[in-house]
Amino acid sequence: MTAGGPWRLAWRRLRRNRVALGFLGLFALIVVFCLAAPLWASEVAHTGPNKTHTLEKIQAGGEEREVVNREGRPIGPQWFEADGKFFLGADGRLGRDEMVRLMYGGRTSLEIGFAAALLTTLLGTLFGLLAGYYGGWPDTLISRALDVIWAFPVTLLAISLGLVLAVGGLQIGPLHLSGSSLWITILIIGGVYVPYMARPIRGEVLALREREFVEAAEAQGAGPARIMLTELLPNLSSTIVVFFALNIANAMLLEALLSFLGVGVQAPNGSWGTMLSGGLDLLTSAPLLTYLPGAMILLTVLSVNVFADGLRDALDPRSKVRIEAHSGLTKAESVEGIAP
Amino acid sequence: MRKPGLVLLVLVLVAGSAVGLAACGGSSGKEGGTLTGTYASFPDYLDPALSYQTEGWTAMYDTYLPLLTYAHANGAEGSKVVPALAESMPKISNGGKTYTLTLRKGLKYSDGKPVKASDFKSSIERLFKVNSPGSGFYEGIVGAEEFAETKSGDISGIKTDDKTGKITIELEGPRGTFTNELGMLFAAVLPADTPAKNLTSDPPPATGPYMITNVETGRGWSYARNPHWAKDNSQISEVPSGHVDKIEIKVVRNDSTQVNEIERDKADWMQTSISADEYNKVKDKYEGTQFRVEHPINLYLFWMNTEKAPFDDLKVRQAVNYAIDPEALERIYAGSLAATHQILPEGMPGHEPFDLYPHNMAKAKQLIKEANPADRNITVWTDNESPNNEAGAYYEGVLNELGFNAKLKEINGDNYYTIIGNESTPDLDTGWLSFYEDYPHPNDFFQAMFSGESIAPTGNTNLSRIDDPKLNAKIVKLDEEPLGPEQEAEYAALDKEFMELAPIAPYGTNTVSTFVDSEIDLDKVIFNPTFGQDLASFQFK
């Protein structure tokens, strides 16, 4: 069987899974929606995500309307009555365009989701590989370090780190990240989920390590690095891909929570989480400001999760990977086909 | 034949009803009952020596009495200092350095112990032992600074005689605000054996009309009538005896929930001001019957660090003052803010309205052009509580419109003042601030926010770091004099002199709201500008 064989088979299985493909399509739509932010902002809304319009008036529906009235109430959705300006209304008493902020906020949330997921996947795979392959004291060292992180509830750990780093930022040697840098949030979210990927990967590596093809490679004089890269990693690829997709969903959820609590994305950057938090102040008078970012988070996380589920089934239908949600955390255990 | 007995009975009944109706006639209200109130957060402390928040002061105003207190009245009347545990106002002699008072006779704490003159001395000493945030107000007493350092011995400048009730306080120098400071909750008299530690969970015995009976820290607390008030302490006619028999306070974090509870008759009063989201809806529906706007004395402003570029340039600071549009900020505060461009707010002695910087963006940009600051990177600090964070975001936008590269930094409200008051925090360029009076004396604003003496490495209150020797001397001079019309005029002039230097961009004074259940007589509720709603004034209809 050629190297492309299993992937082609997986693609055929995935193609038959219309639900998974449907949600992939939804996710793609959301991504396109967010990527179109600069276009909408410049060509339709004619404003930026942070530009305030508290005292301005617009022409809509043949009349002049205040963006924010004297009582601090923001204008509601104008749809196309104002040629696309304030399509979803204003975001609050600052009078920022809600549609523009939703699109740019989505870019931030997706950016953090992808970057943090990538970081988790890279580090999780690396530590899992090293611990599982070498065993002995490297395994002990890595596993115990991961246990320390694992011991903390992910949410509390992330909140604590966010609180501490929000003010002074992070200094690592010559590298300084300010407290408002998105990289702080990416590093926190990416870091706290590493044990939740490294442990299952380690488990898989422990099983694979005893297989004949690894022994054969060792007998042929292949070094550890080559074995890990050319023998073990390809056999982990389906697991890694599924984990990556799930990590995106987890990262986006955690980012929304941290930003909602004020310890994630920092002003002036906006994300769906910060928009959720801001919308709470106007929950009774302008509930759309809360529902919209909440709906976007829901749809995005749902579409990623459903697609990841379908992807898992497509990549390795014989091995059932049971995903348990535990207090908002994700850990994966294999039931058959992969040793714990 | 008619039955005269029946006719007589009917007449008696009718007459009795008429008398009864007249007695219930509406003007006196109902005595007794249990008042249920809600707070959005538990006070910092329920210990009069430690609390430095409005929530705590409101909670203890009718519980712990100092020698003097603030009149239990609305508005300007509530800013007057009146005798409480002392028989009369202090006699001031020796060039303003000696204060003599006499404790009323026969006063008792809620546990039955007699109140003694020496209890005042031990209460002030306790402030230093517990590192009270209010201890600074009393450091001017002879011997206080040494006591603060060593926490041993006693404060030699306070002399008391338990037999006569005489209390003599010697100050290092004359201090025009000392009468006000004697009326602060920090100076409440407690038994001499009160432990020198935080007593929030087990508050000390009371001298006021109410005593705190049960505390569930973080969740709520209760009051009952002080059993020794009516018999022993009600001679303090300046403090009302209260109408309700019990008060139950619970913490309800969400202010919309608090509003709902009042509307559904599950609570009688909410201490929290109504959020901007519900403010206008509640105001429109209940103003005059259950809702009232109150005017505490405060100032909302943006401070500018005069020691750092670009705000070390007067033209830049003046430009910021011209650029801030009070109308925009009024909308951000949903109509609860009254615009101002000066330091002393309305209601503060010495307030004379003026506006040196009417909104003019063109003029602001011109000033920036003339100043041409090299450093255009600015960090704008604000706390994360709405709408203050929105005010910060608005300010960031204004600075960007002026040609700066401003970046907003939102800090959790619990840590905000600690962080911006620490000089080691980097990039302390400019930011948001609200300042509520400690007592109704203009020195409270000038000393804290503009005196060079107030610049400190931590806990700094002079965030603009302005240190003008000539104006510092005026602050010191006025502080030494008792407040009268002449001093008020000088404070008004000082207000203008500081605003010419523009170390801050003041933008408004905020109002708060009183919202009560329909069973409460709103007209009887007193709002003291310093202590908030007076629990002793609540009465059921």
Predicted confidence band of residue A45 (pLDDT cuts 50, 70, 90): very high
Q: How far is CA A153 from the centre of its chain?
A: 18
Position B21 scores a pLDDT of: 44
Predicted confidence band of residue A329 (pLDDT cuts 50, 70, 90): very low
Position A288 scores a pLDDT of: 92
The DSSP line for B336-395 is -EEE--SSSPTTSTT-----S----HHHHHHHHHHH--S--EEEEEEESSTTHHHHHHHH
Position B26 scores a pLDDT of: 43
Interface check A267 vs B, CB under 8 A:
yes
Per-residue exposure over B92-109, b if at least 16 CB sit within 10 Å of its own CB, e if not:
beeebbbbebbbbeebbb
Choice between A335 and A154, residue whose per-residue pLDDT is larger? A154
Q: Which residues in chain B have Cβ-Cβ distances shorter than 8 Å to A70?
A: 330-331, 335
Interface check A160 vs B, CB under 8 A:
no
Interface check A268 vs B, CB under 8 A:
yes
Q: How far apart are CA B247 and CA B224, in angstroms?
A: 7
Nearest CA in chain B to A54: B328
Handedness of CA B235, B237, B243, B246 (dihedral sign): negative
Q: Which residues in chain B have Cβ-Cβ distances shorter than 8 Å to A263?
A: 412
Where on the phi/psi map is residue B96: left (φ > 0), alpha (ψ -120 to 50), or beta?
left
Q: Which residues in chain A have Cβ-Cβ distances shorter than 8 Å to B426?
A: 168
List the 202-261 stretch of A: residues with Cβ below 8 A of B: none
Mutate to test the interface with B, among A55, A69, A71, A266 (most CBs of B within 10 A): A71
The DSSP line for B296-308 is --EEEEEEE-TTS
Distance, in angstroms, between B394 CA and closest chain A CA?
A: 7
Position A321 scores a pLDDT of: 47
Predicted confidence band of residue A319 (pLDDT cuts 50, 70, 90): low
Choice between B278 and A275, residue whose per-residue pLDDT is larger? A275
In this structure, chain B runs to a length of 541
Residue B138 structure tokens: 């009393």
Interface check A181 vs B, CB under 8 A:
no
Distance, in angstroms, between A40 CA and closest chain B CA?
A: 21
Q: How far apart are CA B256 and CA B40, in angstroms?
A: 10
The DSSP line for A301-318 is HHHHHHHHHHHHHHH-TT
- Long-range contacts of the stretch A63-66 (C-beta < 8 A, 24+): none
Q: How far apart are CA B378 and CA B531, in angstroms?
A: 37
Task: Look at residue B294 and give its three-state secondary structure.
Answer: strand
Position A4 scores a pLDDT of: 57
Predicted confidence band of residue A317 (pLDDT cuts 50, 70, 90): low
Residues of B near A (CB-CB distance < 8 A)?
256, 275-281, 325, 327-328, 330-335, 384, 386-387, 389-390, 392-394, 396-397, 407-412, 415, 419, 425-426
Quickly tell me which residue has 């370090």 as its tokens: A145
Q: Stretch A84-94: mean pLDDT, rounded?
A: 93
Q: Is the pLDDT of residue A320 over 50?
A: no
Q: Which residues in chain B have Cβ-Cβ distances shorter than 8 Å to A281?
A: 275-277, 386-387
Between B325, B332, B393, which is nearest A72 by CB?
B332
| Ordered mean pLDDT values, 10 residues apiece, chain B (541 residues) | 48 47 56 95 92 92 98 91 97 96 97 97 96 91 95 96 98 94 97 96 96 94 97 95 97 89 96 84 93 93 97 98 94 90 92 96 98 96 88 95 93 83 93 93 94 89 96 95 93 97 96 95 95 96 95
Q: Which residues in chain B have Cβ-Cβ distances shorter than 8 Å to A52?
A: 328, 393-394, 397
Position B411 scores a pLDDT of: 83
Interface check A287 vs B, CB under 8 A:
no
Q: Which amino acid is at B421?
A: G
Nearest residue to B440 via CA among B327, B348, B376, B355? B348
The DSSP line for B384-432 is SSTTHHHHHHHHHHHHHHTT-EEEEEEE-HHHHHHHHT-TTSTT--EEE
pLDDT tens, residue by residue, A151-183: 999 889 998 888 888 767 888 888 888 777 889
Q: How far apart are CA B365 and CA B320, in angstroms?
A: 9
Q: Which residues in chain A have Cβ-Cβ distances shorter than 8 Å to B330?
A: 70
Model's pTM, two decimal places?
0.81
Position A178 scores a pLDDT of: 76
Between A93, A278, A285, which is nearest B332 by CB?
A93
Cβ atoms of residues B72 and B532 within 8 Å: no
Q: How far apart are CA B381 and CA B378, in angstroms?
A: 10
Position B38 scores a pLDDT of: 96
Position B410 scores a pLDDT of: 86
Position A179 scores a pLDDT of: 74
Interface check A266 vs B, CB under 8 A:
yes
Quickly tell me which residue has 């006021």 as its tokens: B208
Report residue B393: phi and psi, to 5°. Answer: -65, -40
B280/A72 touch (CB, cutoff 8 Å), yes or no = yes
A267/B409 touch (CB, cutoff 8 Å), yes or no = yes
This model of the complex carries an ipTM of: 0.76
